[in-house]
Amino acid sequence: MKTRRSGRGLVGLGLTALVLLQSVGAGAWGNEGHTYINRVAAEKIPATMPRFLRRAVVEIAYLGPEPDRWRSPSEFALKNAQEPDHFIDLERVSWLDPLPQGRYEFYRKLYEKRAATPSTDHPDDYLPEHVGLQPYITMEVYGRLKAAFREYRQRQAAHQPTRAVEQAIIFYAGWLGHYVGDGSQPLHTTIQYNGWVGENPSGYTTEHKIHAQFETAYVAANITAKDFEGLVKTPQRLDHPFTDYVAYLRQSNTLVENVYALEKAGGFTGKGSPAAFDFTTHRLAAASQMLLDLWYTAWLESAVPVPEHPAPVPASK
């Protein structure tokens, strides 16, 4: 469940309170889906990657829902700071292609757009916290994982203890899985995240319940890891992790109407429909595959030497 503006501007105070309450402990795929995504990916780690990671399936699976455990109002600063990490409304940045690779470059572009938008056209829709920061947190955690893999390689080569960095790697790998999972859920890539807004010729639901019904209730009642593990294949190295990940998000965004059409047909009610089962398992598998590919790419890239930090330049007097 995402807590942010609707496509029609600020939601009413009553709805805002309701969404805040619903968001606690909830997120794309819910506890079960996030756990399954991480578990399936971890079980597919190839023998060419470190053994300690292949043996950490239980820990990595547990960490799948971890960022959703940081969304309680009782930790206001934590919840507030990372709420936009779980989504990106791609419709709001259709004018920005390609997306800049850096978080702060993205901020600048959004603030420039906001400044140029008339007050009658909802300029605050372009605030970063309303657009969402999904690809940026994902690549930042990916970078942490790659750096930790590099440290692991260096410590191994120097015959130094590696247990501490192994623990860091397991945490980063599991943490990364949450955001990759968010990205495979189409409703985390769109302004149509929890009830259709704007023109609605197909008569899709406008009630604020489709999000949790699909990703949490339906998955918990009808899907297991075994239902999609066979769809996840041997990992492939990503040539351009950021670009490839944004393409993954854009692909997910093309499936938004599929979610609404399935809901309209009763696909997520009770035991659901075969079409809903097929759609959902393929979305979960897409997340596990991308996660596995990112882990594999981070491991391979960690072997590439990096330049030493340059010496600081003395400040001029």
90/111 Cα distance (integer angstroms): 16
pLDDT digits (tens, 9 = 90+) for 22-76: 333 346 799 999 999 999 999 999 999 999 999 999 999 999 999 999 999 999 9
261 is in which domain, residue-wise? 13-301
Q: Is residue 316 part of a domain?
A: no
- Whether 241 is covered by a domain: the verdict is yes
Q: Using the CB atoms, write b or e for 14-30: b if 16+ within 10 Å.
A: eeeeebeebbeebbbbb
Cα radius of gyration (the chain): 20
In a domain, 110, yes or no: yes
Could you tell me if residue 79 is inside a domain?
yes
The token pair that represents 105 in the structure block: 């470059």
Spatial separation of the C-alpha atoms in residues 87 and 82, rounded to whole Å? 10
162 inside domain? yes
Per-residue pLDDT of the chain (317 residues; tens, 9 = 90+): 444 544 434 333 333 333 333 333 346 799 999 999 999 999 999 999 999 999 999 999 999 999 999 999 999 999 999 999 999 999 999 999 999 999 999 999 999 999 999 999 999 999 999 999 999 999 999 999 999 999 999 999 999 999 999 999 999 999 999 999 999 999 999 999 999 999 999 999 999 999 999 999 999 999 999 999 999 999 999 999 999 999 999 999 999 999 999 999 999 999 999 999 999 999 999 999 999 999 999 999 999 998 877 667 666 55
Q: Using CA atoms, how far apart are residues 27 and 176, in angstroms rounded to an integer? A: 14
- Is residue 133 in some structural domain? yes
State the total domains in the chain.
Answer: 1
Structure tokens at 177: 């899985």
CB-facing half-sphere around the CA of 147: CA atoms within 13 A: 9
- Output the pTM of the full model: 0.90
Does any domain span residue 152? yes
Rounded Cα–Cα distance for residues 120 and 226 (Å): 50
Task: Establish if 8 belongs to a structural domain.
Answer: no
CATH number for the domain spanning 165: value is 1.10.575
